[in-house]
Structures are given as structure tokens and as C-alpha cells.
Structure 1
Amino acid sequence: MGATGTGKSRLSIDLAIHFQGEIINSDKMQVYKGLDIITNKITDIEKQGVPHHLLGEIEADVDFTADDFCIQAIICIEKILKSKNISIIVGGSNSYVEKLVEDPVFMFKSNYDCCFIWIDVAALPVLNSFVCQRVDQLVHAGLVDEVRIIFVSDADYTRGIRRSIGVSEMDKYLREENKLDNNEVSKRKLLESAIEEIKLNTCILICHQLEKIRRLKNEKMWPLNYIDATNVFRKIGKKGADNAWKEIVSKPSLKIVEEFLKYDGDKINHVEAA
């Protein structure tokens, strides 16, 4: 678990490789097909051969609910357990995970042991700076053209993949760009405004995600194993960044999961939420 940009996907790959795991995506935008750039889906190279489930599988205009996620996640968990692998649930949509764990309909607590890892960047300005730089990288990678492909003038930004941050923010620019073909200055300013709005809304999302996680910890009393990756993010782009990740994030998380898997209780099914 963790806010957007904190390294959940990277950690999940480390864990899956070490413990023979398979990953179940719980990001409510990454479940949809398309918009791989704007939703920042993990690439095939980054997956390193680790099987992923509920990643880019749902049609873009479908209203995929928390109940839908829970049903599909249980199916995936059972399939993974039958193959003797570990299920690793990964994503920033904490409402999905809360529904899965807390709703008695799905009997999650009765059927599975679960280990929670909360990866955090405690210094919020450090994380905000990182995600803003990442937005710039996504723009450079083709974010604008990707949104342009699905753009329609009467789009409903409350359903499906169009709820993704970065889609509605581009609306005004995409409506006006053809009218401004001969005015590159105005066109550039309009695009810059849209990009700044994406950055702002991403930072707001981070705050909301952290509020939910803290509520799960403090009110619901979820036993969250806390990993602070702040010093890793301070080293990004500098010498020693990969080693910092290994020592500060990967090794402690591997130890947490190793201890969890040693538990010999009544429940034999093991699921990890990272």
C-alpha cells in the first residue's frame, strides 16, 4: 500500500521474484485497457517476467466497481494459491483493498492470512517534487497524444478510464489547440496550464490516499508494516540510489514477508498487500 509514486510496483516485483509471487493490481485506473502512459502502468520490461492480474484487462468505458474488484481479486487469489504461488495485491486505490478485507460478504479475513506493507515517503515535499517530475516525463513520453486519441467533445469524465488524472485536465487544450495553430505562444501557455493542473491534482490525490491509509491504521487498526523510503527518493538521479533502495526498502520488506510466511497458524492461504 502507499500513495502514488512511492515505489509500490518496484517493491512488488522485488517481493514476487524472491518469494515466487504473482501480482494482483488494485489501482482502479490501471485495471482498464489503454492509456498506459497516463495511468503509468508497469511495462513488460519492468515486470521481469512476474505474472500480473487485473492490469489493463477491463474495457475503458466500463464502470468497474469495488465489488467487481473484490470478486475478480478473490478469483485471482484462488487461482494463484492453487499454483502454490504467493498473491501480492498492489495499488494505490485503498478503497478497493478496504472493501476486499473488511466486507464480510467476501470472507477475506476468514479465509486468508494477510501481511500489509505501507511504503511511504514521509517528507511530502520530496514526494510531490518527484511526482511533478514524473508528470513531465509522462508528457515527454506522449501523454498528450495518448489523451488526444480518446478525446471526444461530449466526454463523460465520471466513468471508466476517463476518470484518470490527466484526461479531463487536457480537455480545454484539446478543444482549443486547432483554433490556435497560428498562435504558438497561446497554445504553449494553454498546454503548460493543463500540465500544471495535472501536477496539482496528483499532489491532492496523494494527500487523499495518505488520509485513507492513516484511517485504516489508526481507526481500523490494520497492522501496517511501515517502510519510509524518503532517503531513497532524495538520492534519485544520484550515485547510490539503487543501493539505497535495496537497503532501505527492499531488504526490510523481504524480512517482513519472510517472517509472515513462517507463521504456522490455522489459515494456510497467504496473501500480501504491498
Structure 2
Amino acid sequence: MMISLPACKQAQPLLNFPKGLHMDQFIPRRQKDKVVIVVGATGTGKSRLSIDLATRFNAEIVNSDKMQVYKGLDIVTNKVKEEECRGIPHHLLGIIDPDVDFTSDDFVHHASLAVDSIMRKGRVPIIAGGSNSYIKALVNDDIEFQSKYECCFLWVNASMAILHSFVSKRVDQMVDTGLVDEAREFFDLEANYTRGIKRAIGVPEMDEYFRNESVDDDETRARLLKAAIYKIKENTCKLASRQHQNILRLQNQLKWNMHHLDATEAFLKRGVGADEAWERIVAGPSTRIVGCFLHKQDINLISAITTPPPMTTAAVIGTTNITSVAAAIR
């Protein structure tokens, strides 16, 4: 028996749903792909943790640091070194022209392409960096990203007093390894420190020193250099505090479920002890949290069991020796 097209169009539904319910509500939604996001203030160890995780979960890393996206100033912007990458591919790292203004919208576009590319290879995207405005633009403001991906947030943290001491020591190391010469390459008498990579901490602070570098007075040059280095340390500490407050604000306002990992103890240890502490209180718990996330287990339960409570500032002030771990935590 032949059925005409009009007859098909007129067929009535076999089920009548109560008012307010529709068939599409009973159709399973497409399962979202998984993305891991590592946040934290400068110096807390985001790069180290993201690489640790990438080696354990067949992952690739997408940089979300707004200064590290630019070409050049590898020391000033503290880009992860090739030998530290352990063969893990990194995206959006040192690819943008130094004079271009790379906006949040630009990041959303490029990061989305990178995440899609990683997914097509059957790998896990790990987004890591200190620029929280980039993360917010991608995760919270981009509807397409929201529709495609589910995110697991890892927040690497440390006592601010300890972190400030660490980043100050790190600046001294950066000076020893060539920060001044590297910054000099970007010095310009007409420099605009509000655009591109010249906004990076370590460039505008050196301006007065470079302008007066040719003076014959060694004492004056030494004084100006010392003042510039002090200013770099001061601004880096301010950045760390600001990033910490921004993460708290995002967590409170956007209700992101962030898994807190206090790395303070790892900063206080030396040598092998620092590595053991990092594995026990940061890398190990993060591995279990991400494993649960990827396999749809109860992340909150595992997180509560494995993540220690944050150390108070009072508990750590006066006991730190930062130099021994400065090279181990990024």
C-alpha cells in the first residue's frame, strides 16, 4: 500500500506530553569534550603542573599567558624552556608579533582552534597561564566553547608571603641569565609601553636605566639598575597579588568549581624534598582529580580527600629558604 506525502505530514504523534514538556527534552544531549584548565598567580607552578599532567594523560598545552603569546623576551616573560617541556607540544607560545595588540577576542579565536586541533588528535587539551581575563573570555563569555566543552579547573596556590619572596629571587635569577640584555633589544626612545610585548614586566621598568646607560658615572648607572630591578620585583609581587584576587573573584562570581592545590610546602623544601612535596600535594592530587574528571567519577570526593588545607601565612613566615626551589617551580 502506497502512502502519500500529505498523509505522512498529517500523521499525529503517538505520545501526548504534559504541558511544558517536549520530545527534545527526552533526547540525550551530546556529551561534551573535556578540557583541563590550570590557573594560579605568577610563580606558583602552573607550567610545571600542566607538563606533569600532559605526560600522564596524553595531552597538549595551550598557553593562556598574555605576554608569553608574543615572540621574543623569553627570559623577561619567563617562557618555559624547550628542555622543560619534556616533548609536550605547546600552542600559542611565542607566535604573535611583538607590536601587535593580542586581545581577549584574539585569544578566544586562537585557543578554540588549538583546542579543536588537539581534540581531533584524540588528546586532552590543557589550558594553562596567568591571564584570567583570557580564561574568562573563553570559558564564560564564548557560547560556542560552552556548548562544546566541559572544564576542570585546577588552582595552584601558595602563601602570598612565600610567593613574593620566591618571585623576587626569581627576578635575580632572570637578571643573572640575561634579562637586562634581552630587555635592551626592545628599548626605544619613543617606546609605547601600553602596546604589545612592551607591556611585559621587566621592559618599562628598565627604561630610565637604558636612557642613562651611557653616562660616565658608574655609581649612577649602578643605582639606576638597582632601582629598575627593585621595581621589577615590586611589580611582579603586585601582579601575583592581583592575579590571586582575580581568581577569587571569578570563583565567587561565576561559581567555577576550582580544585585548590596549595603548593606552599613545596616552596619550603629543598632538593629532593621539594620534588617529593610537589608530587604529594600538587601533582599527585591533580592527577587523581583529572583522572576522575576524564572518566566521569566523583571529582569532588577525590579532591576533598587528596587536597590538603591551605597553610596560613603565620605558619610559614620566617621558615622559608626560597633559593633552593627557585629553579624547580615555575
TM bucket normalised to smaller: over 0.9
Query: Which residue does 1:208 correspond to in 2?
Result: 242
Alignment partner of 1:107: what SS?
A: helix
**1:238: how far off?**
4.4
For the pair 1:165 / 2:165, whether they are aligned, the reply is no
User: For the residues of structure 2 that align with 1:183 and 1:248, how far apart are their CA atoms?
Assistant: 51
For the pair 1:107 / 2:140, whether they are aligned, the reply is no
Query: Which residue does 1:144 correspond to in 2?
Result: 180
**1:189: how far off?**
1.1
1:89 aligned to which of 109, 112, 127: 127
Alignment partner of 2:213: what SS?
A: helix
User: For the residues of structure 1 that align with 2:185 and 2:147, how far apart are their CA atoms?
Assistant: 45
1:244 aligned to which of 265, 277, 282: 277
After superposition, what is the alpha-carbon deviation per residue over 1:53-83, rounded to whole angstroms, capped at 9, x for unaligned? 0000000000000000000001001100000
TM-score calculated relative to the size of structure 1: 0.93
Query: Which residue does 1:193 correspond to in 2?
Result: 227
TM-score calculated relative to the size of structure 2: 0.77
Q: Which amino acid aligns with 1:129?
A: S
User: For the residues of structure 2 that align with 1:149 and 1:216, how far apart are their CA atoms?
Assistant: 37
After superposition, what is the alpha-carbon deviation per residue over 1:25-66, rounded to whole angstroms, capped at 9, x for unaligned? 000000000000000000000000000000000000000000
4+ long deviations beyond 2 Å: none
Q: Which amino acid aligns with 1:117?
A: L
User: For the residues of structure 1 that align with 2:107 and 2:93, how far apart are their CA atoms?
Assistant: 11
1:224 aligned to which of 247, 253, 258: 258
Alignment partner of 1:178: what SS?
A: coil
Q: Which amino acid aligns with 1:258?
A: G
Q: What is the count of residue pairs matched by the alignment?
A: 259
Query: Which residue does 1:270 correspond to in 2?
Result: none
After superposition, what is the alpha-carbon deviation per residue over 1:78-115, rounded to whole angstroms, capped at 9, x for unaligned? 100000000000000000000001114x4222110110
**1:249: how far off?**
0.7
After superposition, what is the alpha-carbon deviation per residue over 1:217-273, rounded to whole angstroms, capped at 9, x for unaligned? 1121100010000111111x4451111111111100000000000018xxxxxxxxx
Larger radius of gyration: 2
Q: Which runs of 5+ in 1 are unaligned?
A: 265-274
For the pair 1:34 / 2:67, whether they are aligned, the reply is no
User: For the residues of structure 1 that align with 2:139 and 2:282, how far apart are their CA atoms?
Assistant: 25
Q: Which runs of 5+ in 2 are unaligned?
A: 1-38, 298-330
User: For the residues of structure 2 that align with 1:116 and 1:172, how far apart are their CA atoms?
Assistant: 41
Q: Which amino acid aligns with 1:14?
A: D
Q: Which amino acid aligns with 2:262?
A: D
Alignment partner of 1:62: what SS?
A: coil
User: For the residues of structure 1 that align with 2:140 and 2:122, how far apart are their CA atoms?
Assistant: 25
User: For the residues of structure 2 that align with 1:150 and 1:229, how far apart are their CA atoms?
Assistant: 34
Query: Which residue does 1:269 correspond to in 2?
Result: none
User: For the residues of structure 2 that align with 1:76 and 1:53, how far apart are their CA atoms?
Assistant: 7
Query: Which residue does 1:267 correspond to in 2?
Result: none
User: For the residues of structure 1 that align with 2:210 and 2:84, how far apart are their CA atoms?
Assistant: 31
Alignment partner of 1:222: what SS?
A: coil
**1:15: how far off?**
0.2
Aligned Cα RMSD in Å?
A: 1.0
Q: Say which structure, 1 or 2, has more relative contact order (CA 8 Å, 6+ apart).
A: 1
1:117 aligned to which of 154, 161, 171: 154
**1:183: how far off?**
1.7
**1:216: how far off?**
1.1
Alignment partner of 2:254: what SS?
A: coil
User: For the residues of structure 1 that align with 2:135 and 2:60, how far apart are their CA atoms?
Assistant: 17
